Copies of this chain bind each other. A is one copy, B any other.
Amino acid sequence: MGASLKDVAQLAGVSIKTVSNVVNNYPHVTPGMRAKVQRAIDELGYRPNLTARHLRKGRTGIIALAVPELGNPYFAELAGAVVDAAARHDYTVLLDHTAGERQKEILVSQGFRAHVIDGLILSPIELEAADLLGRTDDAPLVLLGEREYDAPYDQIAIDNVSAARTAVRHLTGLGHRRIAFLGARRESARQPAHLRLRGWREELTAAGLPCDDSLVAATDGYGRVDGAAAMNALLDRGERPDAVFAYNDLIAIGAMRALTDRGLRVPDDVAVVGFDDIEEGRFSTIALTTVSPDKQAIARLAVERVVARLAGAPHLVPERIQPGYTLVARESTARRPG
């Protein structure tokens, strides 16, 4: 245990309050007094005990961020942006994994480390709106990610349907007609990918193209392996799309890898579009065309929303905020040959 206010006060021969005043830069302290106290502080190597301060103030300065896993660069990049955004408001980030599992997501939403976190930013995968109904924890909650929840919490997400349509439109605009979707979930009960899938359907329909369900490939997860497996499965059952729209960049990268392995060229034989704009895609041997959500904005807005509620606007009406996105065309897409 380090020194406490009391120790410093004793050494300096003043009251606790005076030391507290110095520590907190209370303006009305005489310079001489300040110097004397400061000397005692330095001598003892005093550091304020934040835990005690928090108990007193009811605030900890800690925001929790729960993402499926940091192994996915999208979440790693997002987490990094949240850490930086939080730091700008003098908040620190407590990090947790949910593995995208509903139970873990519920647990976190219900009061992860209750009272030690001031607010919670959660990026759910399988969570249902109903799971949020009985939430008692009074720490502000902000939801991130693709899904839309009919629940009274702030939600920060780009317009996934419209973004997916933009991606597909990019492909149809290049003359592609058989456009596969990679990354639907195997079980139909929960369909986290449904908005992007809907975008795919809507845009194909708008372009007067058929929505061929045999061109929809399910995956078990959201990683590179899953993308490769889905691409292989599609090709194995005899489909030969001339373009692929993947649920995310990792799946797209896995798909490109599978295509290359089978001697198919990207983009000449099959064009590929991803979603997320992770840095990896910019530098892959065939740079990946992708939908780029404004991650900085997402992180900033999420943190600001938590901080605003904490700073005296606790009953702000919950909002659904849609940050911007752009389509970044790179090497993995090109005009359909012939």
User: Residues of A with Cβ closer than 8 Å to B?
Assistant: 1-2, 45, 47-52, 54-55, 58, 60, 62, 69-71, 73, 76-77, 79-80, 83-84, 87, 92-97, 111, 113-116, 136-138, 223-224, 228, 253-254, 256-257, 260, 279-280, 282-286
**Nearest-CB residue, chain B, relative to A72:** B76
User: Are A95 and B97 also in contact (CB < 8 A) when A2-B138, A54-B116, A285-B285 are?
Assistant: no
Cβ-closest chain B residue relative to A114: B47
- The reply to whether B115 and A51 form a contact with Cβ atoms under 8 Å apart is yes
* B-side contacts of A76, CB under 8 Å: 70-71, 73, 76, 79
Is the beta-carbon distance between B285 and A49 smaller than 8 angstroms?
no
- Establish whether residues A55 and B58, one from each chain, have CB atoms under 8 Å apart when the complex forms: no
B97, A83: Cβ atoms under 8 Å? yes
List residues of chain B with CB within 8 A of the CB of A96.
83, 87, 92-93
How many angstroms between the C-alpha atoms of A48 and B111 in the bound complex? 11
- The residue on B at minimum CB distance from A254 is B283
Please name 8 further chain A to chain B contacts, defined as beta carbons within 8 Å, in addition to the given A48-B115, A51-B55, A62-B94, sorted by A numbering. Answer: A2-B114, A47-B115, A50-B113, A54-B116, A60-B116, A73-B76, A228-B283, A284-B284
- Are B51 and A79 in touch, CB under 8 angstroms? no
CB pair A1–B58 under 8 Å, yes or no, is yes
A68 to B135, CA, bound (A): 35
Complex Cα gap A84–B97 (Å): 8
Chain B proximity of A116: nearest CB distance (Å): 5
The answer to whether A113 touches B92, judged by C-beta atoms less than 8 angstroms apart, is yes
- What is the distance, in angstroms, from A249's C-beta to the closest C-beta of chain B? 11
A71-B80 contact in complex given A115-B47, A116-B50, C-beta closer than 8 Å: yes
Shortest Cβ gap from A82 to chain B (Å): 9
| B224 x A279 contact (CB < 8 A) | yes
Q: Can you give 5 A-B contacts (C-beta < 8 A)?
A: A50-B115, A83-B97, A87-B96, A224-B279, A256-B285
Q: Are A283 and B79 in contact (CB under 8 A)?
A: no
Residue ID in chain B nearest A73 by CB atoms: B73
B80 adjacent to A97 (CB under 8 Å): yes
Q: Which B residues touch A94, using CB under 8 A?
A: 62, 92-95
A186 to B254 alpha-carbon distance, docked (Å): 35
Chain B residues with Cβ below 8 Å from A228 are: 283
Indicate the member of A83, A84, A87, A137 with the most B CB atoms within 10 Å.
A83
Judging by beta carbons under 8 Å apart, are B92 and A93 in contact?
A: no
Chain B neighbourhood of A62, CB < 8 A: 94, 116
Cross-chain contact A70 with B77 (CB below 8 angstroms):
yes
Residue of B nearest to A224 (CB): B283
Closest residue on chain B to residue A110 by CB atoms: B47
Q: Which residues of B contact A70 (CB under 8 A)?
A: 70, 76-77, 79-80, 83
Q: Report B-chain residues with C-beta under 8 Å of the C-beta of A224.
A: 279, 282-283
CB of A285 within 8 A of CB of B283, answer no
Report the Cα distance A76→B2, complex, angstroms.
33
Q: Which residue of B lies closest to A69 (CB)?
A: B80
A259 CB, nearest partner CB in chain B, Å: 10
Interface contact A45-B84, CB-CB below 8 Å: no
Cα–Cα, bound, A83→B97 (Å): 7
Contact A52 B50 (CB under 8 A): no
Among residues of B, the one whose C-beta sits closest to the C-beta of A45 is B136
